[in-house]
Structure formats: structure tokens, C-alpha cells
A and B are shown apart, each in its own frame.
Chain A
Amino acid sequence: DGGITQSPKYLFRKEGQNVTLSCEQNLNHDAMYWYRQDPGQGLRLIYYSQIVNDFQKGDIAEGYSVSREKKESFPLTVTSAQKNPTAFYLCASSIRPQGLGGYTFGSGTRLTVV
């Protein structure tokens, strides 16, 4: 079945440590997105990529980095510069650039700072 796979499901980070969240899709979608979800808040866009080797900052990109070396993969690195990284992270993809065909989401990664 086609879909988006996020791993790991749970991730624990120590202070000052960088961690990378994986997002892989086999839907042949062009665009991919990373969102952050905090309790009581709507989803906020971190980064997005419309084609391979290209990506743009979203609303809350500070402290995060991404790469898009393959169409299927869009990993997110949470760096030590992100002061409040504890959150639920969701990856999404869309069939056309700019998400005009609607979005498909992965099952999420819950990141906790210990």
C-alpha cells in the first residue's frame, strides 16, 4: 500500500543533541512538508519542498534543517538551537507542487527532551 512512513514513532533527545526524524513516501508525490503540533495549537509549518534539491522555510524554521536528495525522502533534523523541541512532528506530501491536490499525512513522531 502507498503511504508515508515516519520513524521513529517516539524519540528522546538530550539537551544539546541533534536528532533526525525520518519521512519516506512511496506515493510518487512531488511536494513534502514538515509540521509541528503542540497541545491546543494548530499545526505549524516548519519546512516544505516542492521538488528534489529544493526546499523553503515555513513559519517556524528556526532550529530545524532539512534535505531533499531523493523524491521519496524528506528528513528533518532538530538541532540544539531549537530551544523547545518537545512536540509531535508530522510529515505530509501532496501530488502536485504547492499541495493543490490535497495533503496526505504520516503517523507522526513524538519528540521529547530529557
Chain B
Amino acid sequence: KQEVTQIPAALSVPEGENLVLNCSFTDSAIYNLQWFRQDPGKGLTSLLLIQSSQREQTSGRLNASLDKSSGRSTLYIAASQPGDSATYLCAVMILTGGGNKLTFGTGTQLKVEL
């Protein structure tokens, strides 16, 4: 059974700091990995999607890397801002005989302080 772990569960940093969020998964046979952002009481906003054949994806101040063999992904946020405060979720997709399976981590709650 695929298990996804995100560390740390919560993180508080001063504005302007660069930071790294971690995601690890137990089954390396994934098809893709997606990072999401969730604001309190809201839905999920997709940030980056990395296919299994890719090593990283970038969007603005965000960079996500994927190391399938070690079962790890990192989300790097450069020059953090208070508006980055949210919960960040990673989710991995594996293909099974019964159809695809998307498994989520429990998230990292980020607070960027002035």
C-alpha cells in the first residue's frame, strides 16, 4: 500500500527566507507526482505536476524535484512571502489493475511571518 509522508507537519519562517518542503513515498513505481496548495477552508490549487520521467518542474518562485528511486520529492520556495502561507500537499499517482490510485500526504502547514 502506497504511503505518503510530508515533513515537517508545520513550519514557520520569516519573510524572505528560502525553504524546502519534503514529500516521501513508499512505492517508487509512480506515474506522476503533483504538489498542491490549500488555503484554510478552500479547495486545492495545483502548483506543479512532475511526470515520472522528469526530474524537476519550475513555476515562478517554486521548484519541485523528483527522485523516484529514493521515493522523494521536494518543493523549494524561494524568497518566501506572507501570501505563501497555506498548507502544501503532495500526491502521487500509481497505476494498478483496478485503475489509477492517487494517494495524498497529510500536508505541511506553512506560515510566513512579516
| Chain A contacts to B: CB under 8 angstroms | 4, 6, 33, 40-43, 45, 48, 50, 56, 88, 90, 92, 98-108, 110
Contacts and interface: CB of A to CB of B under 8 A. Distances in A.
A33 B45 CA distance: 15
Contacts of A56: 98-99
11 contacts: A4-B43, A42-B107, A50-B99, A88-B41, A90-B44, A99-B102, A102-B34, A103-B46, A105-B45, A107-B42, A107-B43
A42 B9 CA distance: 12
Contacts of B12: none
Which DSSP category, helix, strand, loop or mixed, fits chain B's interface? Answer: strand
Given A45-B102, A98-B95, A106-B43, 12 more contacts: A33-B102, A42-B103, A42-B104, A48-B99, A90-B44, A98-B100, A100-B93, A102-B34, A104-B46, A105-B45, A108-B41, A110-B41
A23 B108 CA distance: 27
B71 interface: no
A69 to B, nearest CB: 21
Contacts of A50: 99
Contacts of A4: 43
A17 B1 CA distance: 35
A40 B103 CA distance: 15
A83 to B, nearest CB: 23
